[in-house]
A = this chain, B = another copy of it.
Amino acid sequence: MHPNSIIFGSAYYEEYMPYNRILQDFTMMKKAGMNTIRIGESTWSSLEPEDGIFNFNHIDLMLQTAFDVGLSVIVGTPTYAIPSWLAIKYPDILVTGKEGQAKYGHRQTMDILNPNYRNHCERMIRELLQHIHKHPSIIGYQLDNETKSYGNYGPYAQQEFISYLKNKFPDINNLNSSFGLNYWSNRIHDWSQFPDIRGSINGSLNGEFKKFQRSMVSDFLNFQNAIVCEYLQENQFITQNFDYGWTTHSYGLQPEVDQVDAAKQLTIAGFDIYHPSQNKYTGKEISFGGSIARSIKNQNYFILETQAQGNINWLPYEKQLLSQAFSHFSNGADSLLYWNWHSIHNSLESYWMGVLGHDLRENRAYKEICELGQELKKYGDHIYHLEKNNQVAILLDHNSLIGLTEFPLTNNLIYNDIFRWLHDAIYELNIECDVIFSSQISTLTDLCKYQYLMIPAYYSAEESILHLINSYVEQGGHLICTYKTAYADEYLKIRHERQPYIINKCLGLTYQQFTNPDETTLKFSNPQLEKKHFETKVQVSTFMELLIPSTAKVIASYENTGFYDTAAITENNYGLGSAIYLGCHFDSTTLKDILFEYFQKNKFEMDQNQFPIIHKMGINQFQKTIHYYFNYSNSRQKVHVNYNNVYDLRGAVHVASITDFYLEPWDFKILES
């Protein structure tokens, strides 16, 4: 069951503490306004120190003290980090990846297909749940932790992959032709010839194996879900803490999990978002992370982990902890759990700092979190469970992400870069957006609820969806679509038809050639844009297609190149709608200019503010509209608004009329209208 107020707290590991201070910690939490702890997910070896011998002392102590103090508890199944005795007992239980078998020590190194692992998992979960499931403080369970296939290329995986393929291709000739196995003599005549997939140089087949690896994750979570369900009490939820693509922080779509599929059996989807801080804190990761999170089950979501003090270089500036928390709520998060309560004194994440530092005393971070708790107490019910009604959606697709990994356009442009390029541009323009996954599109209605559809490099495109996109534009939708869309089929086989396949219709263009630019710049048809970039030319970066417009109008063409004035960016009217095609990559400021004009022209109501002032909206449970205004910068900023009769939640004051106001660095205002 979905909870009915904001879950606010942190992960807690009594097992890691240098001395017993649980009552002190929980009292500090309560004082800070926290209401929930998340426990248990990393501690199998404490719970089952020997094979079949269980010890629930830590868990019991945490549950009892939580109950005494009045904290709710989310219990994680302790399966993502195995005890060493289990690895010693079954030498094949550690995962075999592309470069060989893992050694014991790290978390997330087991073969989740291994039946011995599965059996011990099940016994561990059942013993734990049998012991605790009636405890009144438990509000829900988290399955495992950021589950992946862990690069599983082991014997079970390879065997099951063959079954998976046999199932899809009963006739092996179809396998050969779908993946082009004739190339370099890779053709197989029967399944016994199927080689170790680790040597494959076939990008399409490798992509299919990664699809299969994603299905392992869903399967494993469903396996755990079924067990937990047997013990689940009324009003308890089951969740998982999904995560995102990762650079040095959450960056884009998680390549290794099909979260839409994996979340099907969950009550609610949870997410872990980590983002840059200090001068690099922009709210962007919280925003795209929230858009993905909302889309997974088309409902509000949990933040199960986010940074308190975080990595060494993430120590938040003053006010940033407050800003971070409300940024999550403004995107529709129904919970905020820090990772974690205290900093750890040993091992790998010692400098991934919690709310408390290593000295376990009150500090600047704790004090700011206390302020946060105070504010939530005052008006938390007004911002809880916001409903978003966005007019813009971004279409995401896992196969396309993998497609551009297996078939890279350059060494430095991945799918998530292109997604972030589009997302960040409209974020800075204060246009909020949803995410829609290709797997969620089955009828035109799925698209038509949006005025604008943005498509970053939908490389591995299904025919049916491409036809729906044509219809979407025909019926009045506005499309913003990048290069490389529609190029390959769902098995990453490149299509041999005219490009962009099918949607050349709504785009009004085709192309036959593309390249990496060699000092090529853009020339704009729009005189204002051309004037703006006359001195400093807009550089085409990393990739460009040589567009051949039929009905499309040229927005920009390439100049300073031996291809002469080929079209680069176009706009096309089609039916009742229109479509912009971005045939190349370039800087995000120029993208913002082009999109601003496109949105404005089509009568989209544009906010008066742009980044670093970010405006977020939603409908609360009282059916009022909540307006957030964030200043994501280190300097004082003016905010342009015009409201009558609003309630300033933070100031706790009704305002008859409000126009422009100032926000201090990293500060924010919340208005209810």
Contacts and interface: CB of A to CB of B under 8 A. Distances in A.
Highest count of chain B CB atoms <10 Å: which of A105, A495, A516: A105
B43 A182 contact: yes
A65 to B, nearest CB: 18
Contact of A46 (B185, B343, B487): B185
A189 B49 contact: yes
Contacts of A250: none
A518 B318 contact: no
Given A84-B195, A103-B198, A345-B494, A45 B280 contact: no
A653 interface: no
A318 B186 contact: no
B199 A318 contact: no
Contact of A83 (B177, B187, B357, B513): B187
Contacts of A360: 496
Contacts of A346: 179-181, 183, 202-204, 492-494
A315 B514 contact: yes
Interface in A311-326: 312-315, 317-320
A358 interface: yes
A576 interface: no
Interface string A406-441: 010110000000000000000000000000000000
Given A180-B344, A183-B346, A195 B105 contact: yes
A563 interface: yes
Interface stretch (A128-136, A347-355, A588-596): A347-355
A495 B360 CA distance: 10
B347 A278 contact: no
Contact of A495 (B180, B195, B358, B543): B358
B347 A202 contact: yes
A97 interface: no
Contacts of A184: 42, 81, 106-107, 347-348
A107 B318 contact: no
B85 A512 contact: no
Given A496-B360, A562-B665, A313 B185 contact: no
Contacts of A564: 318
B88 A313 contact: no
A275 B408 CA distance: 20
A467 B543 CA distance: 55
A88 B190 CA distance: 13
Contacts of A666: 562
Contact of A515 (B85, B313, B496, B519): B313
Contacts of A106: 184, 199, 201
A19 B512 CA distance: 19
A45 B187 contact: yes
B499 A359 contact: yes
Contacts of A515: 278, 312-315
Contact of A104 (B182, B187, B199, B563): B199
A313 B315 CA distance: 42
B313 A363 contact: no
Interface residues of A, number: 108
Given A185-B107, A358-B496, A359-B497, A348 B201 contact: yes
Contacts of A81: 184-186
B43 A185 contact: yes
Contact of A87 (B42, B107, B195, B487): B195
A329 interface: no
Nearest to A360: B496
B50 A189 contact: yes
Nearest to A42: B184
A46 B182 contact: yes
A192 B442 CA distance: 56
A144 to B, nearest CB: 13
Given A347-B204, A350-B494, A363-B513, A104 B188 contact: no
Contact of A518 (B50, B280, B514, B519): B280
A15 interface: yes
Interface in A457-485: none
A668 to B, nearest CB: 15
19 contacts: A18-B177, A19-B496, A42-B185, A43-B185, A45-B188, A49-B187, A105-B186, A105-B201, A183-B347, A279-B518, A312-B516, A315-B513, A315-B515, A317-B561, A318-B564, A345-B494, A345-B495, A358-B494, A359-B498
Given A42-B184, A180-B347, 13 more contacts: A16-B183, A45-B189, A85-B188, A103-B196, A105-B199, A183-B347, A183-B348, A202-B346, A203-B350, A315-B563, A346-B492, A358-B495, A562-B634
Q: When A and B form their complex, which 9 residue pairs have the shortest distance between CB atoms, in order from nearest?
A: A180-B346, A317-B562, A103-B199, A105-B199, A315-B515, A81-B185, A313-B516, A45-B187, A49-B189
Interface of A: 13, 15-16, 18-19, 42-46, 49-50, 78, 81-85, 87-88, 102-107, 109, 177, 179-190, 192-196, 198-204, 278-280, 309, 312-315, 317-320, 343-351, 357-361, 363-365, 407, 409-410, 487, 492-499, 512-516, 518-519, 543, 561-564, 634, 665-666
